[in-house]
Amino acid sequence: MNSENHRIAVIAGSTGLVGHELLQLLQNDSTYDKVYCLVRKSSNLKHPRVTELVIDFDRIPESLSEIKSVDDIYCCLGTTIKTVGGSKEAFRKVDHDYPLALAKWGESMNAKKLLVISAMGADANSSIFYNKTKGEMENDISKLKIESITFFRPSLLIGDRKENRPGEKIGIAIAKALSFLFIGPLKNYKGIHVAKVAAAMLRASKQQVSGMAIVLSGEMNI
């Protein structure tokens, strides 16, 4: 692995809400000499520390052969049932299979830290498909031999989405109006801005810890 001030990072999901915020932090953090940004199609991103790799997520690890060393892996992959046309199979591929494949690649590369976006309510035994998928993703990745694995479970994400989601906008508006109610045990269910989630991920990457950890939304919403 590289020295603490000359690390190499990989980020997947940088076009999403949290991933976009996180990429801005990573590319301006002197901790990293290089940041590999995994994308489906080029965004023509230009930054001295960032190398954008157009990959086939169905072909991990083959698509990542250009990367010879990695310290920290940030996984911000995720979609919605609506986005994938109502297909549970397609949803599971993005929210379970891809993160797991990336994590397995990280294990083979002796990555030091894996930081993954999950969700509040993640539970492999849940009767809710979304929560069950997230929980199974966490369980499967937790079995891998990576020095430090951290799952981040944000509540309702607040930020500027590219796609139009009227129902979610209403939910966010209500969550903001009632935010004063989310205190004590309910703090983990208060809406959280994506910038706070991204900042929490970067903070966690700088901590000298090992093993598996779960960071709940209330811990990030500071």
For all residues of the chain together, what is the average pLDDT?
A: 89
What number of CA atoms fall less than 13 Å from residue 14's CA on the CB side? 27
Q: What is the pLDDT of residue 53?
A: 96
Distance CA 205, CA 106 (A): 15
Q: Are 37 and 14 in contact (CB under 8 A)?
A: yes
Residue 198 banded pLDDT, cuts 50, 70, 90:
very high
Residue 27 banded pLDDT, cuts 50, 70, 90:
very high
Mean pLDDT of 107-123: 97
Q: Where are the domains of the chain?
A: 7-215
Assigned token pair, 157:
């994400």
What number of CA atoms fall less than 13 Å from residue 201's CA on the CB side? 32
Q: What is the CATH number of domain 7-215?
A: 3.40.50.720
What number of CA atoms fall less than 13 Å from residue 29's CA on the CB side? 23
Residue 114 banded pLDDT, cuts 50, 70, 90:
very high
Residue 3 banded pLDDT, cuts 50, 70, 90:
low
Instruction: Sort strands 32-39 and 113-117 into parallel, antiparallel or unpaired.
Output: unpaired
DSSP assignment string, 84-116: TTT-HHHHHIIIIIHHHHHHHHHHHTT-SEEEE
Q: What is the pLDDT of residue 161?
A: 56
